[in-house]
Chains A and B, each alone.
Chain A
């Protein structure tokens, strides 16, 4: 078990190094920030001075080396656009996205597990077909469109919630709902599929013939085994949430990591792009380690290897 998790951690660490290299050079490819931050009629001397101050006049490999050295001190450099430490910007934006993503995912898991498990009890029954169609359609909704339509219906027509911005609890409802739709649909499909498999297995038949109540068969015996694929998919969806968060934060004007990254890419704010991607990847990395632990806890076959 220990070697399994250690192996996974070593692999993830290698991926992190690859990611750091990738993001550094990709960001440099977007062009020289001097063109964006100085007026169009800036003199060549001014441009050279700007490049020199920000270390952009050095060869790329030297810049990369400096970046690595400062990175070891957890210094991600300063934002060109906002003239504040990049790490500080990213860390202030991160909680917003985390709360959005976690509430959406928690809600999605609960709804998907209950709906999927109930649907699996009677395959092809009315409830099963209903769950199937609803989950398929919510997995097929483009999130930016769902965001616009929900703003139109709930904010413009019904006036139940504000259209965008932050502040009160009501501001969070629409963004969370929009982020919730797709993972919930996908997860419900997965839960249903793996529950149907689990319910037709031998140990469930044994439990039935022993006279165990059907509710505890479904939610204790079968669900625990059906959770393994669900956890895998939920983990994938969680990293996919960053994509959803970009769109949702841009539409709802939420000051999260997605909006920060969008703005930074447009303004060639290298320090913030690098810091944002690395912190996000570190969070995803941490989550994958947690998922591995959950796997080991749930699956004796890995635990006793």
Chain B
């Protein structure tokens, strides 16, 4: 039991750190700072892009057809133009919205469903739990991209269907993690104590087990946004993502594929945007894990300049 208390106390402390302290810690990891700044830009683009540049990014102009990256046509064309002469930079800002909405909604949906099923499977370790686990196994052994392709071929690819498919393929991750954590946490003293004192099942799960399990799941979800975004762009690339006139970064790469030899920039920049966003999310998730782990946290604090 000493073991349990000694690990939970520092975690409590971490949860109490003020915003100021977290920002201080963040500042010490320059990669994390860069990641956060980039993500802020992406989120701003996703929120405002279509309203600010929606018109401009759709204007077909044959004079700037496949224009190379340069300042000759004004700032909108710094990254060049696509086959219809539309500025790539502005299309990146506009495309950010669909890309982010798809990834984030799919992650939230799969997290809610997966966690709920995982709690049931972990808390009721009986036949129902077993059935849930086997269903997760089936989903895991089915190559997820093929599943998505078949399903999207059946249900025409609209935004809701793409989100649904991406969410279904990722449910097992949360399900298994939540189940494993619940199995472990429900045996801890504070849960058995609450149980003996007559707490209802709902109260046990919501007030006692959930807070102990959620941090792990949230960290996974951060990483999953990057993964789901990559999966969605593969789907768009294969032509089964959301359909034109709506587009995501993945679809932009697909459009540029045919001009690879003559106008590389059409396919290149959207890929850079996907990579940088995924990388920022990974960096941020790593940083969060480091900060919330008392065993690792000193590595950040140790980097503090010696003047204090």
Contacts and interface: CB of A to CB of B under 8 A. Distances in A.
Interface in A210-227: none
A262 B230 contact: no
A15 B237 contact: no
B299 A148 contact: no
B150 to A, nearest CB: 5
Interface residues of B, number: 47
A242 interface: yes
A87 to B, nearest CB: 18
Contacts of A137: 275, 279
B275 A140 contact: yes
Interface stretch (B54-62, B75-83, B109-117, B137-145): B137-145
A31 B156 CA distance: 12
Contact of A265 (B150, B270, B283): B150
A124 interface: yes
A265 B153 contact: yes
A19 B278 contact: no
Interface stretch (B183-191, B214-222, B261-269): B261-269
B140 A145 contact: no
Given A11-B137, A149-B268, A261 B234 contact: no
Interface string B271-308: 10011101100110010000000000001001100000
A274 B31 CA distance: 46
Nearest to A21: B138
Interface residues of A, number: 49
B104 interface: no
Contact of A152 (B141, B253, B264, B286): B264
Nearest to A22: B138
Interface in B229-263: 230-231, 233-234, 237-238, 250, 253, 256-257, 260-261
Nearest to A29: B154
B217 to A, nearest CB: 18
| Interchain residue pairs A-B with the least CB separation, the first 3 | A145-B271, A140-B278, A242-B143
30 contacts: A11-B137, A12-B141, A15-B134, A16-B141, A18-B134, A18-B137, A18-B138, A22-B142, A123-B299, A133-B31, A137-B275, A140-B230, A142-B237, A143-B230, A145-B267, A148-B256, A149-B271, A152-B261, A239-B141, A239-B143, A246-B238, A247-B237, A261-B149, A262-B238, A266-B153, A273-B150, A277-B146, A281-B141, A284-B141, A285-B141
